[in-house]
Amino acid sequence: MAQVAIRNLNKMYDDVHAVKDVNLDIRDKEFVVLVGPSGCGKTTTLRMVAGLESITSGRILIDDQVVNDLAPMDRDIAMVFQNYALYPHMSVYDNMAFGLKMRKFEKSEIQKRVQDAAEILGIQDYLKRKPRQLSGGQRQRVALGRAIVRHPRVFLFDEPLSNLDAKLRVQMRVELKKLHERLGTTAIYVTHDQVEAMTLGDRVVVMRDGWVQQVGDPMELYNEPANLFVAGFIGSPAMNFATVRITAENGDLWAVGDGIRLKAPAAFANSLGPYTGKEVVFGIRPENLRIVPDTDPAEMSIDAIVEVVERLGSEILLDVAVGPITMVAAVEPTVRAKVHDRLRLAVNPDRLHFFDIERETAI
Ligand code: ATP
């Protein structure tokens, strides 16, 4: 059982305000991912939970106990790092047993825990080897094993898959997810990779410049981004954005821009109304655009010219010019579009996003 509560957490490194007023409640057994671009403060936040970094202000509680001044040893957490941090001169067994020996566990208990963890991770056959005799994926399993044997209240992961090649990352990602389901230990995971965040997290915390931008389950972040940053960060290829002007015509609101003419769905009537006559940012994801015959009325459409055709197999990505900007449309692999083709694109009206141009918040 472990809940982690982060209250008004701040970190200053001299004049760098690295973590700004972070508040977060992590539930028992939850897998929470902190994600954001380099320098957003995610690692610093994790290290403060671990006790490896001092807290400038705010509190961290594990199961209602304030741990601000507890040494890392005494927090009952286990951390897995990107660089594995294995002892090169020790066998796999000793690497996994080391933390327990330091804590003066009985030999038989150590043996049992290491065997159990090795079995869970499928590394029973490598226990006598040294880390240098292992592949990257196997080393990362040992690093995980070292954390598992501790039976900690909380796992902390700092970009643990970053050193693996693309294929192995995907494989280890699945293994981590299974592992979490099996052990059910509360986990906080840091990554800059939004796909990793989306696939692993029960909830995802998007950070930028030390601030939390949004906390939500992966589909919530995807479907209802709170602001332009989250909308652009989550999802690959990224959401398309264009500046449009909101106009009122015959009782309807329209979003009009260069090559763009879209009737705002009724659901937006109230929230977009105050923007009539003003510019806003309109957003649409690549998969929510589709090609329609250009005989379709130009009422609800985007006029585009194909610039690049990327055939990915399962789908085709069309980079298209819409007025002065480029958008990406993800279309069926059967579509035969060529560079310079003129296309009319329709949008899925339920999937339109609008953002305040200055505050960057979702409308
Ligand atoms: P990355 O993915 O690159 O590790 P991050 O989101 O984890 O980035 P942090 O490592 O938490 O970011 O750093 C947040 C900010 O704090 C950055 O601006 C960084 O330069 C600064 N910072 C981190 N550690 C220190 C330090 N020891 N001294 C001074 N500034 C630091």
pLDDT band at 298 (very low <50, low <70, confident <90, very high): low
Do 342 and 325 fall into the same domain?
yes
Q: Is 162 helix (H, G, I), strand (E, B) or coil?
A: coil
If one residue of 42, 83, 188, 229 were mutated to test the ligand 1 pocket, choosing by the most ligand atoms within 8 A of its CB, it would be 42
- Residue 294 resides in a domain: no
Q: How many helices (H) and strands (E) does the chain have?
A: 9, 20
- Residue 106 resides in a domain: yes
Ligand 1 pocket member 22 (CB < 6 A): no
pLDDT band at 251 (very low <50, low <70, confident <90, very high): confident
pLDDT value at residue 296: 62
Do 324 and 346 fall into the same domain?
yes
pLDDT in tens, 158-167: 998 888 888 8
pLDDT in tens, 268-284: 889 999 999 999 999 99
Ligand 1 pocket member 44 (CB < 6 A): yes
Domain that includes residue 132, residue range: 4-233
From the CB of residue 60, how many other CB atoms can be counted at a distance below 10 Å?
23
Reference 157, options 192, 110, 195; nearest CA is 192
pLDDT band at 83 (very low <50, low <70, confident <90, very high): confident
- Number of structural domains (the chain) is 2
| Residue 159 alpha carbon, nearest atom of ligand 1 | 2
User: In the block, which residue shows the tokens 């389901």?
Assistant: 181
Cβ atoms of 100 and 149 within 8 Å: the answer is yes
Q: Is 108 helix (H, G, I), strand (E, B) or coil?
A: helix
Ligand 1 pocket member 16 (CB < 6 A): yes
In CATH, what number is assigned to the domain containing residue 342?
Answer: 2.40.50.140
In CATH, what number is assigned to the domain containing residue 150?
Answer: 3.40.50.300
Do 208 and 256 fall into the same domain?
no
- Residue 296 resides in a domain: no
pLDDT band at 297 (very low <50, low <70, confident <90, very high): low
Tell me the percentage of the chain whose pLDDT exceeds 70. 99
Do 209 and 315 fall into the same domain?
no
Do 158 and 138 fall into the same domain?
yes
pLDDT band at 226 (very low <50, low <70, confident <90, very high): very high
CA separation for the pair 298, 160 (Å, rounded): 49
Do 132 and 154 fall into the same domain?
yes
Nearest-CA residue for ligand 1 atom 27 is 13
End-to-end CA, the chain: 39
44 Cα to the center of ligand 1, angstroms: 6
Residues in Cβ contact with 258 at an 8 Å cutoff, skipping those fewer than 6 apart: 322, 323, 324, 325
Q: How many residues does the chain have?
A: 363
- Residue 362 resides in a domain: no
pLDDT band at 67 (very low <50, low <70, confident <90, very high): very high
| Residue 45 alpha carbon, nearest atom of ligand 1 | 11
pLDDT in tens, 90-138: 999 999 999 999 989 999 999 999 998 898 888 889 999 999 999 888 8
Q: What separation in angstroms does the CA of 108 have from each of 95, 115, 141, 151, 194?
A: 16, 11, 22, 16, 42
If one residue of 11, 16, 19, 191 were mutated to test the ligand 1 pocket, choosing by the most ligand atoms within 8 A of its CB, it would be 16
